[in-house]
Structure formats: C-alpha cells, structure tokens
Amino acid sequence: MLAAVAYAFDAELWLWDARKHDSWTFVSLPVDDSEEIRHRTEGMANGFGSVRVTVTIGASGWQTSIFPDAGRGCYALPVKKAVRTAEGLTPGDVARVTIELRDF
C-alpha cells in the first residue's frame, strides 16, 4: 500500500464569477505544491486535468477534486458553501487547508 501524499498550506479564499448569477469560491494551492502534484499525477489526472483529493479545513472534511488554473499557474480547490458556513469563512479570509491525494 502506498503512503498518503498530503499537503498543508494557508490560502486566501477568492471568488470566481462563473456566470451572471453563479459564483464559486476557491483557494489556490501553492505553486511549488501544484508543480509537485502535476509531476506525481502525470498521465493519471481525470477530466479537465482534475485530481481527486480529500480536504480538511478546520473541523470540516470532504472529498472533491482540484483543477488546474492556467492563469495562476497552480491548482484551484473549490470550497463548498457548507464548509464556508461551518468554518465561518468568506472570500478574502485565509484558511489552513490540508489536502491528501486520492487514487495515487
């Protein structure tokens, strides 16, 4: 069995306005971590280059995917509303984030 690959970092929540009435909240992974993840997952990423992860912010944990963000040169992690509410976070706040790669 492979050892878990995990990353922990502090990141600011930012808002992406996808459409007129639809916005998403993300954090950006550090560029160095993103490069390492890209290297580790080369040829194994899913649709859109996504990588499945388990995430922890505060007392909240969930499974999702990170996505390449070419404009920022890193991976972006969506932070769902239930987590933001539970942890009292809004865009502009900084959160301690831990992600663990799944399936690798």
More confident residue, 104 or 66: 66
pLDDT for the residue 5: 93
What confidence category does residue 1 fall into, taking pLDDT thresholds of 50, 70 and 90? very low
Quote the pLDDT of residue 68. Answer: 95
Q: How far apart are the first and last CA of the chain?
A: 10
Cβ–Cβ under 8 Å, residues 40 and 101: yes
Domains observed in the chain:
6-101 (2.40.30.100)
d(C-alpha 82, C-alpha 90), whole Å: 12
pTM for the whole structure: 0.88
Which residue type is seen at 90?
Answer: T
pLDDT at 43: 80
Taking only the tens place, the pLDDT of each residue in 71-87 is: 999 999 999 999 999 99
Distances from the Cα of 43 to the Cα of 50, 57, 101, angstroms: 11, 28, 15
CA dihedral 42, 17, 21, 77 (to 10 degrees): 40
Which segments of the chain are extended strands (E)? 6-12, 14-19, 22-28, 51-57, 60-69, 74-78, 94-101
**pLDDT (tens digit, 9 = 90+) per residue, 16-72?**
876 656 689 999 999 999 999 999 988 876 778 899 999 999 999 999 999 999 999
